[in-house]
Amino acid sequence: MEHVNTNIPAIEMEEWELVLDSTQDAIFIDDKYGNTQWINKACELLYEVKREDIIGKSIDELEKGGIFSPSVAKLVFKNKEQATILHSNKSGKKILTTGTPILDNNGNIYKVISTSRDITELVYLRNQLEDIQNKLGELREEQLENIGNLIIKSEKMQEVAYLAKRLAHIDSTVLITGESGVGKGEIAKFIHMSGDRKDMPFVKVNCGAIPEALLESELFGYEYGAFTGSKKQGKIGLFELAQHGTIFLDEISELPLNLQVKILHVIQDREFKLVGGLKSINIDVRIIAATNRDLMTMVKEKKFREDLYYRLNVVPIHILALRERTEDIIPLISYFMEKYNKKFGVEKRMDPNTLALLIKYSWPGNVRELENIIERLIIITQRDTILPQNLPNFILDKIDSSTDIAIPSSLNLKDAIEELEKRIIMNALKKHKTTREVAKALKVSQPTIVRKMSKYSVCDFKLDQYDT
């Protein structure tokens, strides 16, 4: 607290006003009665008032008039010590104000000097930072939770995983192709989580799910007032949110041509501009793209830029449909059974004959459809065992019942799976002359068939003369 000798000669007021009007901080002076004695020009601007309208008014009058709320001077008079508060003016600006008491020789408050500064932008930046940190936290939780969805058993998927693992430590752009639901997003997460950027954000963008009118601003953000209806403060884009991490552009085939140009620019120059902005923003992100369409055909049809296609297709990864890698069906069923049993607090089991039917189904919706069906079966099946009759009719209608393979229901899941695998191989051996033909029919490698025949003691001497 400051002390002042009230008996010293007064300095020329005009000189003081000249000094105080030159500062950028708002200065507010109250006398010992709590009435406004003087304010500087910065205070007039900040609180949107005129000096002549304020001088002489009490703290209570100013609060009731909405000039500011609450008053820091009131706290100073009450506690007889310096106070700092965050309050708002009548326009809603966030203002940080510090009030300091000036004491006379008797220790009584003689004046209160308040200094204020507009921190609206700082408050906004703090809130935006907290919002970004929350989003990044959610993204990290999501990617750590879902990385377990990469269930691999087939040799084809093992090759995909091996390639993805190698690419994880190389920042080349990756293009993942395959039908809808095969697991392109899981491979993208696997690459991210296996690489040097794993502790940084993984941002997924479904290019086909965002309206075309909003897609550019969602991807790149926008400046204040960039377009009608935009936020006053502007908005950070998904590319900037992914800074130092990975951005996954799913369904990239759905990008309009004008945005394809901008994506190409980002890949080539590692920079972009906000919508409505003039300044380039440098970006350090890994780009992984995915599509279920034939981009080369789209290039020929002038629906996709050829230069962008070659920039994206540096290292292609193709994921086979689930019907082309049937070895993965059983592990995926086991994984989803465990996941949804835990989620819903139940202990449902799969009847082996139900399992056999699910293996025979073609799965046009791939892994996504399989997960959906398993979740549905666990929810709707009233008994602890999921029987064939519990399967949806559209699955039963598409399965040839003449090739049913009956498995004893008393077997546990592991033994039932092995028995089912053995019988499938035996059935195939009856139809084909060589293990190579069997492998081709079952969509596995020939060494896999030979290994499993040995495991299950399956032997067919008629094959010997054909296999070389």
Q: Both 340 and 199 in a single domain?
A: no
| 447 token code pair | 């060494």
Question: Among 298, 320, 342, which residue terminates a domain?
Answer: 320
State whether residue 246 is helix, strand or coil. Answer: strand
Whether this prediction's pTM lies above 0.85 is answered by no
The answer to whether residue 132 sits within a structural domain is yes
Choose between 41 and 456: higher pLDDT.
41
Mean pLDDT of 350-364: 89
pLDDT one-digit tens code per residue, 313-324: 998 999 999 999
Domain assignment of residue 8, given as a range? 2-118
Whole-number average pLDDT of the chain = 83
Instruction: Please give the Cα distance from 57 to 28 (Å, whole number).
Output: 12
The answer to whether residue 451 sits within a structural domain is yes
Instruction: Please give the Cα distance from 93 to 99 (Å, whole number).
Output: 18
Highest mean pLDDT (candidates 28-42, 52-66, 151-165, 291-305): 291-305
Q: Give the count of domains, the chain.
A: 3
Residue 107 sits in a domain of what CATH number? 3.30.450.20
The answer to whether residue 468 sits within a structural domain is no
The answer to whether residue 370 sits within a structural domain is yes
Judge whether residue 328 has pLDDT over 70. Answer: yes
Q: Both 309 and 354 in a single domain?
A: no
Q: Both 25 and 145 in a single domain?
A: no
Place of tokens 């005129």: 50
Mean pLDDT of 116-126: 82
pLDDT at 461: 40
Rg (CA), the chain: 35
Amino acid at 351: D
Of 22, 54, 50, whose CA–CA distance to 37 is shortest? 54
pLDDT one-digit tens code per residue, 258-272: 999 999 999 999 988
Question: Among 265, 289, 320, which residue terminates a domain?
Answer: 320
Q: Both 141 and 95 in a single domain?
A: no
Instruction: Please give the Cα distance from 63 to 89 (Å, whole number).
Output: 10
Question: Among 320, 336, 371, which residue terminates a domain?
Answer: 320
Judge whether residue 401 has pLDDT over 60. Answer: no
Residue 135 sits in a domain of what CATH number? 3.40.50.300
The answer to whether residue 216 sits within a structural domain is yes
The answer to whether residue 238 sits within a structural domain is yes
The answer to whether residue 85 sits within a structural domain is yes
Q: Both 96 and 113 in a single domain?
A: yes
CB 397 within 8 A of CB 406: no
What is the DSSP annotation of 254-278?
GS-HHHHHHHHHHHHHSEEE-BT--
Place of tokens 């002076």: 29
Q: Both 114 and 57 in a single domain?
A: yes
Judge whether residue 245 has pLDDT over 60. Answer: yes
Who's near 352: CB < 8 A, 6+ residues apart? 407, 408, 409, 411, 413, 416, 417, 419, 420
Q: Both 47 and 183 in a single domain?
A: no
Q: What is the pLDDT confidence band of residue 464, given thresholds at 50, 70 and 90?
A: very low
C-alpha dist (Å) from residue 135 to 42, 224, 426, 455: 38, 22, 53, 49
Q: Both 114 and 214 in a single domain?
A: no
Q: Both 128 and 81 in a single domain?
A: no
| 293 token code pair | 């369409």
Q: Both 224 and 353 in a single domain?
A: no
Instruction: Please give the Cα distance from 381 to 386 (Å, whole number).
Output: 6
The answer to whether residue 94 sits within a structural domain is yes
Residue 385 sits in a domain of what CATH number? 1.10.8.60
pLDDT one-digit tens code per residue, 144-175: 444 445 677 788 888 898 899 899 999 899 99
Q: Both 191 and 316 in a single domain?
A: yes
Q: Both 240 and 386 in a single domain?
A: no
pLDDT one-digit tens code per residue, 277-305: 778 889 999 999 999 999 999 999 999 99
Instruction: Please give the Cα distance from 423 to 420 (Å, whole number).
Output: 5
